[in-house]
Amino acid sequence: MTGSVPGRCCQPRLGAGRGVRGRRDAGRSRYPACSGAGGGAAMKLKLKNVFLAYFLVSIAGLLYALVQLGQPCDCLPPLRAAAEQLRQKDLRISQLQAELRRPPPAPAQPPEPEALPTIYVVTPTYARLVQKAELVRLSQTLSLVPRLHWLLVEDAESPTPLVSGLLAASGLLFTHLVVLTPKAQRLREGEPGWVHPRGVEQRNKALDWLRGRGGAVGGEKDPPPPGTQGVVYFADDDNTYSRELVAIGCWVRVWPVGLVGGLRFEGPQVQDGRVVGFHTAWEPNRPFPVDMAGFAVALPLLLAKPNAQFDSTAPRGHLESSLLSHLVDPKDLEPRAANCTGVAYTDREAQDEAGGAAAAAGPGLRPSN
């Protein structure tokens, strides 16, 4: 007889004829329907609670946002500050763009050429491998200077095509002169350059032309008329010069010269605007221990001293003194180049090492009697 036991609605029936295996299988599936129904109800209850909590939180957030819509906002000052920064940046960009569009300022106008004295640059030259290269370099520097007259004097019997052609193509106002160095004064092969000073006859030939003694073979052949205001400067063709070098309206002016005499520079020592000595390594007791590139002379002073010239028999290092001793006393030398703190360079590659460039300007000095 089979039947159901109260309280166990899903208990399986047990047959009378089943053995041990039947009871074991029956035990494995006891209460299946009853367990599944209870778990599903609990899961539904948990999901309801989650959705309810999410709904309540959302409603609370929405209500808070609606309440804040009516409240005053304190974010206006930061927004104004950010807007002001952007405005300042836009203004600066506009200013920079305007500066880029603005034409560059016109350079300071130099004095009118007619108001400047003429600069007479005396250059002796002789035939050698680098002659043309050095003359081209010098001529291009001189072409930057207004009212310049180049006196180029060849050490030759007659003018050479090389020098004549170079002068014609230079675009400069020039006078071509020629004079041959006497045989007794020429350097023999292998002799050092200090045995006989080079260029003495050529410089004196230029002084003769300035004094109206003729001799020009090319270019401007008439000497400067009486009363001409000018400056005479002796520029060797193997040196390098600044276009600001030569003084105007001076009697005798001096300045330092770079890389000469075994020194970084040599030149006058100045105190209170006056020359009190010379910085030099070679015979500092010379009357004028200066380099040929370290002085300029007023043309009226040279014309007033017709016997002043270079002496080919002067001792070594005294060639400059042989001319200057006829023109001026050492105490009357006028220092230039910022009281001789700059340098008139003879080597362009050493400019950064030796110091600033030499300029020349200012009042003149009285000549010696």
Give the annotated binding-site residues: 238
Crossing angle between the packed helical segments 161-170 and 131-142, to the nearest 10 degrees: 20
157 among known catalytic residues = no
φ, ψ at 94 (rounded to 5°)? -65, -40
List the one residue out of 266, 262, 274, 248 whose CA is nearest residue 320: 266
Q: Cβ distance 170 to 161 under 8 Å? A: no
Check residue 181 and report its DSSP letter.
P
Q: Active site residue: 320, 334, 349, 353, which one?
A: 320
155 to 84, 167, 176: CA distances (angstroms):
77, 16, 11
φ, ψ at 27 (rounded to 5°)? -70, -25
Give binding residues for Mn(2+) as ranges: 238
Q: Cβ distance 240 to 135 under 8 Å? A: no
How far apart (Å, rounded) are the C-alpha atoms in residues 83 and 7?
Answer: 80
How far apart (Å, rounded) are the C-alpha atoms in residues 183 and 194?
Answer: 16
Residues with Cβ within 8 Å of residue 185, at least 6 apart in sequence = 196, 200, 201, 312
Residue positions annotated with a catalytic role: 320
